[in-house]
């Protein structure tokens, strides 16, 4: 067996907690423990607010089981733990705030290390034919609809304040995450804004977004709602450019 084969066998054994042939069991146990401890520590760092919400014991128990089933697949630990969001959603189906907190933790971390992009200044927010304008966003932008007050809980945990009780929020509200300059950002969204952002990310033009909103709002308010969203997104550094 050459060096490359030994390295592959050793890495596979670490992931499975096994001992390769001709390797001392005691020494291998040290390596396995260090390997798993490092991955659990990575999850604790990435999902820091979720850790505070669940507590050390519950979080570490889930993290340890996750590590057993999900070996790293990237050269960097920054990419480790994406599926932990789904893992916690499956583990806490009746506590929807847990998965939403984890989603926020994960995407704020990814926004920090995501690709750079220069946001469009508000002064460039102009077009000859708004009906045909499409919006290109910075590549770190992510969003999801939410069913709980997880954003308020996350803010309280970040500020070392007592978190509010869990509350179910009706109406398809959401949260968006992006990076402005060097700083990851997040913000809650109303149901209208979540709808507009969902359509814009799918490639809908400004005119198509307004058309979609028309059955739900008076005609004289539709452009104001869509325009308000676009203005806020631009001012907050989410928009990269406008295109026809």
Structural domain boundaries of the chain? 3-94, 122-243
Tell me, what's the pLDDT at 117? Answer: 93
Nearest-10 crossing angle of helices 3-16, 25-46 = 60
Pairwise CA distance, residues 92 & 237, whole Å: 34
> Which residue blocks in the chain are alpha helix, DSSP H?
3-16, 25-46, 48-54, 56-69, 84-91, 96-113, 150-158, 191-201, 206-213, 219-235
Token representation of residue 158: 């970040």
Given pLDDT bands bounded at 50, 70 and 90, which one contains residue 26? low
Averaged over 126-137, what is the pLDDT? 94
Alpha-carbon span 232 to 234, nearest angstrom: 5
Which residues make beta-bridge pairs with 189? Answer: 174
Four-residue CA torsion sign, 160, 162, 166, 167: negative
122-243: in CATH 3.90.1570: no
pLDDT at 190: 93
Helix or strand run (H / E) with residue 174:
strand 174-180
pLDDT of 205 reads: 96
Question: Mean of the pLDDT values across residues 116-138?
Answer: 94
pLDDT at 76: 76
- Is residue 215 classed as helix, strand or coil in its secondary structure? helix
pTM: 0.85
DSSP state at residue 178: E
Q: What mean pLDDT comes out for the span 95-116? A: 96
Q: Which two tokens stand for residue 4?
A: 């490359």
Q: What percent of the chain has pLDDT over 70?
A: 86
pLDDT at 27: 52
Tell me how far apart the alpha carbons of residues 119 and 133 are, in angstroms, rounded to a whole number: 17
Q: Are 237 and 185 in contact (CB under 8 A)?
A: yes
pLDDT at 19: 52
- Model confidence at 171: pLDDT above 90: no
Q: What is the mean pLDDT of residues 188-200?
A: 95
pLDDT at 30: 44
pLDDT above 80 (res 98): yes
pLDDT of residue 33: 57
On average, the pLDDT of the chain sits at 89
Instruction: Give the separation between CA 153 and CA 163, rounded to whole angstroms.
Output: 5
115-123 mean pLDDT: 94
Q: What is the mean pLDDT of residues 160-181?
A: 92
């Amino acid at each position: 067996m050459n060096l490359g084969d030994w390295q592959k066998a050793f890495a596979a054994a670490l992931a499975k907690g096994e001992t390769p042939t001709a390797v001392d069991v005691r020494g291998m146990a040290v390596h396995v423990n260090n390997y798993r401890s490092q991955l659990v520590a990575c999850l604790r760092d990435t999902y820091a607010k979720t850790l505070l919400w669940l507590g050390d014991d519950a979080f570490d128990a889930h993290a340890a089981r996750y590590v057993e089933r999900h070996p790293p697949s990237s050269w960097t630990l920054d990419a480790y733990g994406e599926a932990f969001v789904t893992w916690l959603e499956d583990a806490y189906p009746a506590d929807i705030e847990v998965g939403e907190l984890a989603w926020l933790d994960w995407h704020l971390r990814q926004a920090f290390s995501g690709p750079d992009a220069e946001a469009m200044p508000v002064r460039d927010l102009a077009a000859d034919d708004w009906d045909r304008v499409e919006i290109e966003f910075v590549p770190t932008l992510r969003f999801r609809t939410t069913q709980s007050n997880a954003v308020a809980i996350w803010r309280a945990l970040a500020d070392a304040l007592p978190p509010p009780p869990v509350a179910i929020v009706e109406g398809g509200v959401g949260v968006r995450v992006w990076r402005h300059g060097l700083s990851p950002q997040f913000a809650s969204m109303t149901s209208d804004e979540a709808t507009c952002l969902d359509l814009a990310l799918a490639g809908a033009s400004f005119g198509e977004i307004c058309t979609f909103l028309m059955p739900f709002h008076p005609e004289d308010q539709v452009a104001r709602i869509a325009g308000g969203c676009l203005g806020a997104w631009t001012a907050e550094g989410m928009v990269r450019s406008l295109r026809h």
